[in-house]
Amino acid sequence: MKNRFIQLLSCIASLALAGCAPPASNEVPPILLFNGSGTSPNDAKAVEAVLKEARLEYAVVNSRQLNGLNEAQLRAYRLMIVPGGNYITIGNSLTPNTATNIHNAVQGGLNYLGICAGGLLAGNAISNSPNLTSGVRVGFYAAVNRGIHKAAVSVAGVDTPPIEQYWEDGPQFTGWGEAVGKYPDGTPAIAEGTSGKGWVILCGTHPEAPESWRRGMAFTTPASTAHAYARTLVDAALHGTRLPHY
C-alpha cells in the first residue's frame, strides 16, 4: 500500500497521470495508449493532445511495460491505441506472446484504434503482429509508389464534405472491413470492422496532426476540423460505434 501511495503522489506531483505505467489493480482508465519503440514520439503526443481535449482518461505504456501485461490485464481497458511510426520496429519491440495477448484481448472485447503504423501493425504484418484483420496484409496508399511520402490528402466520407488530412507513408485497407473514408483513388483510407468481440478502427492518415506538421503544405481544411474528426474516431473506437461507411 505504501509503495502504491508513493507512486500515486509521484504521478500527481508531475501532473502526468497518463504517463504512469498501467496500474496493477482493476481500477484502470478506459484507454491504453502505446508509445513504445518504433512509435513517433511526436505522434504519441499528438494523440495525447486529442485525448486531453476530449477529457478522456488514459494510461501510457511503453514496449517493456506492454510486454509485461497479460491478456486479462489488457482486457481491463476498453480501447488500445497504437499511433504512427515504424510498424516493423513496433512489432519487433514486442514479444510474440505479447502480440498473441493483444490479439486474444481484442477477440475478447478490447477495442483497437490503429493510426498509420498502428493500422499496418494490425494487419498480417511481417513483424510481431496481433493480426486483427483475419490474415489480410495491409498495403500502402499508392502515392508511396510515386515517390510521395508526405502530403495533404483529401479523405472523403459518406455524405460529408471531404477533409484534407496530413498523410505520411500511410496505409490503405483494401480487403478488410468497411470503408469509412476513401483516398482520392477510391481505396479505403479509414476502415472499421470486428475482430472477435472487439471493435477495430484503422486509419491511414493523421487527423490528429498538429498545425506544425502542416508547414510547407497547402491545406484547404483547417487543422481544427481534422482534430474534431480525430476525436470522432477515438469516440467511435472507445464505444464500439459503427461510423457511416461505403
Give a yes or no: residue 77 inside a domain. Answer: yes
Query: Are the CB atoms for 181 and 202 separated by under 8 Å?
Result: no
> How confident is the model at residue 26, as a pLDDT?
55
> How confident is the model at residue 5, as a pLDDT?
35
Quote the number of domains for the chain. 1
Q: What whole-number percentage of the chain has pLDDT above 90?
A: 88
Q: Is the confidence at residue 31, as pLDDT, over 90? A: yes
Q: Is the confidence at residue 45, as pLDDT, over 70? A: yes
Give a yes or no: residue 3 inside a domain. Answer: no
Give a yes or no: residue 23 inside a domain. Answer: yes
> How confident is the model at residue 50, as a pLDDT?
98
Give a yes or no: residue 129 inside a domain. Answer: yes
Q: Is the confidence at residue 2, as pLDDT, over 90? A: no
User: The C-alpha cell of 207 is what?
Assistant: 487527423
Cross-strand pairs, 165: 153
User: The C-alpha cell of 45 is what?
Assistant: 503526443
Burial of 167 (0-12, 13-18, 19+ CB in 10 A): buried
- Going across the sheet that includes 79-82, the strands are 58-61, 31-34, 79-82, 111-115, 198-203, 188-195, 178-182, 150-157, 160-168
Give a yes or no: residue 25 inside a domain. Answer: yes
Mean pLDDT of 158-184: 97
Give a yes or no: residue 37 inside a domain. Answer: yes
> How confident is the model at residue 27, as a pLDDT?
80
Mean pLDDT of 154-165: 96
Residues with Cβ within 8 Å of 58's Cβ and at least 6 positions away in sequence, in order, are 18, 29, 30, 31, 32, 33, 48, 51, 81
Give a yes or no: residue 5 inside a domain. Answer: no
Give a yes or no: residue 183 inside a domain. Answer: yes
Q: How far apart are CA 60 and CA 51, in angstroms?
A: 12
Mean pLDDT of 211-235: 96
Q: What are phi and psi of 51, to 5 degrees?
A: -65, -40
Query: What is the span of the domain harbouring residue 232?
Result: 15-239
Q: Is the confidence at residue 167, as pLDDT, over 90? A: yes
CATH of the domain at 162: 3.40.50.880
Band the pLDDT of 16: cuts 50, 70, 90.
Answer: very low
> How confident is the model at residue 19, as a pLDDT?
42
Indicate the pTM of the whole model.
Answer: 0.90
Q: Is the confidence at residue 217, as pLDDT, over 60? A: yes
Query: Are the CB atoms for 118 and 66 separated by under 8 Å?
Result: no
Band the pLDDT of 119: cuts 50, 70, 90.
Answer: very high
